[in-house]
Amino acid sequence: MYKWIVIGGGIQGSCVASRLLEEKKVERKDLLIIDLHKQPLERWMTITEKIEMEYLRSPLVHHLDTDPYSLKKYASIHNYALGFKGQYQRPRLDMFNQHSLDLLEETGVMECWLQGEVDKLSWAEQGWTVRIADGRCFTSERVVLAIGVNHTPYYPSWMEKYKESPSIQHVFEMDNELPETGDVIVIGGGMTAAHLAYALTQKESIHSVTMVKRHPLRIHHFDSDPGWLGPKFLNTYHKLTSYKERREVIQKARNRGSITRDLYFKLLKQERLGKLDIHTGCIQEIRKDMDGEMQLFMENEEMIAGSSILLATGPAIALPGKAWLDPLIDKMQLPCAPCGFPVVTKTLEWKKGLFVAGALAELEIGPVSRNIAGARKAAERILQHA
């Protein structure tokens, strides 16, 4: 039997696991990390590389290590040129990734890794049992649910008919390769879509790039106000006893579909140079013509055509791990808010020995729960109980 099993090896799960090891809360032989991929942060690195992100949106103190200034020291030791950018010292993506992998190697996370897809979680008197798709089961005293939301991409209803078409891809689909030629349409108005559209305009083999979004480009430094990192906003938030109200506050606080100012100016420059067309409005319908070209029909009766469509519409709005968590919730009567997400203690414990991180912890952590700062907060909370 293990002492801890962490389900999910992305930013959230890797942060929790490395902290458990680093602070000697568990020995390597007593920790198991189960993830769908071969190595930690694989989904994160694949998607960010695909859209050619150069710098993170978060500041230099947001990373997986305990010391807030660890990444700054790392940049100096390894002589990274232009390691940070802008007023908030946003780190280079490649540096952040290597810093993370070095930390995970050093703390021993790699030695605790198991590639597998969890399909069942159950409780018995001896502890928690985690089953993976090949039938193997593992028991543990404690389990951390650190399941990412990006495993299930959001597909708008208007494109259901062509969902399986090779001309339409979602950037969150791991196996998809971006088109190298033709007229490409990018759907979305947030950071992922903006990075993707800009990257495509840099490829000489791409004939044209069109970005289609529902709303004007929104500019925010971060995906939520920095006040959500501390007592400025959280004191009031934690006084809310209604989880419906907490959900409303989270939705309002998140700067969804927003981009940084520097990325905004990059898009405008490409538009001025004639390398990018930017359209704002709602898509009503999609069709494929006789030549296989995809046609988008907008609410203003405008038609936009392209040889391929790339969706950067984010994750589906659903409980992560819903397929195998729902039976557990029903059987054990786990407390959930009206939105279906867990109601947990301050140490993020959902049931005895069952903890949550990331999106599953957001009703306690608040609007930053899904990002790197949220991962750090979740690790700190969980370790209080370890």
pLDDT, tens digit (0-9, with 9 covering 90-100), for 231-273: 999 999 999 999 999 999 999 999 989 999 999 999 999 999 9
- What's the CA gap between 145 and 349, in Å, rounded? 10
Burial class for 119, CB neighbours closer than 10 Å (0-12, 13-18, 19+): middle
- Give the pLDDT score at 236: 96
Burial class for 276, CB neighbours closer than 10 Å (0-12, 13-18, 19+): buried
Q: Is 292 left (phi over 0), alpha (psi -120 to 50) or beta?
A: left
- Give the pLDDT score at 19: 97
184-232 pLDDT, tens digit per residue, is: 999 999 999 999 999 999 999 999 999 999 999 999 999 999 999 999 9
Please spell the DSSP secondary structure of 197-214, one letter per residue: HHHHHT-TTEEEEEEEES
**pLDDT class of 111 with cuts at 50, 70, 90:** very high
303-345 pLDDT, tens digit per residue, is: 999 999 999 999 988 899 999 999 999 999 999 999 999 999 9
Over pLDDT 90: what percentage of the chain? 88
**pLDDT class of 150 with cuts at 50, 70, 90:** confident
Q: Which is more confidently placed, 290 or 303?
A: 303
- Give the pLDDT score at 176: 77
Task: Decide: helix, strand or coil at residue 268.
Answer: helix
128-148 pLDDT, tens digit per residue, is: 999 999 999 999 999 999 999
Q: Which has the minimum average pLDDT: 74-78, 117-121, 287-291, 369-373?
A: 287-291
Instruction: Decide if 124 contacts 137 (C-beta within 8 A).
Output: no
Q: Which is more confidently placed, 118 or 165?
A: 118
CA 80, 85, 87, 91 dihedral sign is negative
- Give the pLDDT score at 158: 87
Using DSSP bridges, classify how beta strands 137-145 and 2-7 pair: parallel, antiparallel or unpaired: parallel
Q: What is the mean pLDDT of residues 298-302?
A: 89
Instruction: Indicate if the pLDDT at residue 386 is higher than 80.
Output: no
Instruction: Decide if 116 contacts 138 (C-beta within 8 A).
Output: no
Number of Cβ within 10 Å of residue 122's Cβ equals: 15
Helix ranges, the chain (H)? 11-22, 42-50, 70-77, 93-107, 191-201, 231-238, 243-253, 261-272, 322-332, 362-365, 372-385
Q: Provide the β-strand partners of residue 372.
A: none
Instruction: Indicate if the pLDDT at residue 108 is higher than 80.
Output: yes
- Give the pLDDT score at 331: 96
Q: What is the mean pLDDT of residues 113-133?
A: 95
Domains of the chain as residue ranges with CATH? 2-151+316-385 (3.50.50.60), 157-220+255-311 (3.50.50.60)
- Helices then strands, counting H and E runs in the chain, come out as 11, 20
Give the mean pLDDT of the chain: 95
